[in-house]
Amino acid sequence: MIARIAARLGHGPEVELGPGDDAAIVRAPGGRVVATTDLLLEGRHFRRDWSPPYDIGRKAAAQNLADVVAMGARPTALLLGFGAPPDTPLEWVDALCDGLRDECAQVGASVAGGDIVRGTTVLLAVTALGALDGPAITRSGARPGDVVAVTGRLGHAAAGVELLSEGRREPADLIDAHRRPRPPYATALRARELGATAMLDVSDGLVQDLGHVADASGVRIEIDGAAVPVPPVPDGLRLALTGGDDHAFAATFPQGATLPAEWRTIGRVAEGPAEVVVDGKTYGPGGWDHFRLS
């Protein structure tokens, strides 16, 4: 199976040596590499009766590539740890690999290697690498007076999960948002040129993730609820504030920065305790927590 997967994935120019040796060799211009890792567990992050394998592959790659881009880095390669039951059809694995490969192609990256193991359920452990050609954009750079802006969809994937949980398959665009996120990579990769002071991938909910920026920067973040883009469903603001699997990007920029239409200003950074408020009030629970009991 390893040879089959390696042949299916291929690799791009940044990968000097791909699957088949003890380790991959990935070129890193400038010698600075950004690395991140994430897990997708069947029944927790996806369901095979809800999502086809191709979309699962796209999603697994996207949530890791988005983390690299959020640092201001250019993704170069993924490493994949793959566990599956022994009766998993090879055609299912082929489609999963196609999804991984095609999502990587969106940013010029590729799968450089990995490992497989027999398991009782499907597990994807993905490590993403990226080349950092300039200053990193971290969570700790927000300053009072900055504006807060987002790019990409918010709440659409969460709306899709709620629809699927109710046994519904429409509207298709919301269902598809859960199955296959579409991070606006190119827009986020230009954030440094626009003067971004902090940025992150919205993976666990806008309020919760901006809370990480508030904590790291020691600032208060004030969100204008009316400015937040919401999905076309009842209670859309709640989903936009707490749903994260769309993998939008949130960033802070100096006041007066000229932002293109792809970025939507939704609030400001202020002095005060490290917290996030929506229309002047705390909002919670703000997003996904793997260990929250309810």
At 18, the pLDDT band (50, 70, 90 cuts) reads low
Q: Is 45 annotated as a binding residue?
A: yes
% residues pLDDT > 70 (the chain): 91
> pLDDT at position 271, please?
97
Nearest-CA neighbor of 239 among 164, 166, 153? Answer: 153
> pLDDT at position 294, please?
42
Which DSSP symbol is given to 260?
Answer: -
Q: Is 38 annotated as a binding residue?
A: yes
> pLDDT at position 19, please?
66
Task: Return d(Cα 36, Cα 127) in angstroms, integer.
Answer: 6
Q: Is 114 annotated as a binding residue?
A: yes
Q: Is 243 annotated as a binding residue?
A: no
Full set of structural domains in the chain with CATH: 9-131 (3.30.1330.10), 147-282 (3.90.650.10)
Mean pLDDT of 108-135: 92
Query: Mind listing the pLDDT tens digit for each residue in 40-81?
Result: 999 888 999 999 999 999 999 999 999 999 999 999 999 999
At 23, the pLDDT band (50, 70, 90 cuts) reads low
> pLDDT at position 244, please?
82
Q: Is 263 annotated as a binding residue?
A: no
Give the predicted TM-score (pTM) of the model.
0.88
Q: Is 67 annotated as a binding residue?
A: yes
Q: Is 169 annotated as a binding residue?
A: no
**Strand partners for 85:** none
Which DSSP symbol is given to 230?
Answer: -
Q: Does 285 sit behind a cis peptide bond, omega within 30 degrees of 0 on the bond before it?
A: yes
Q: Is 201 annotated as a binding residue?
A: yes
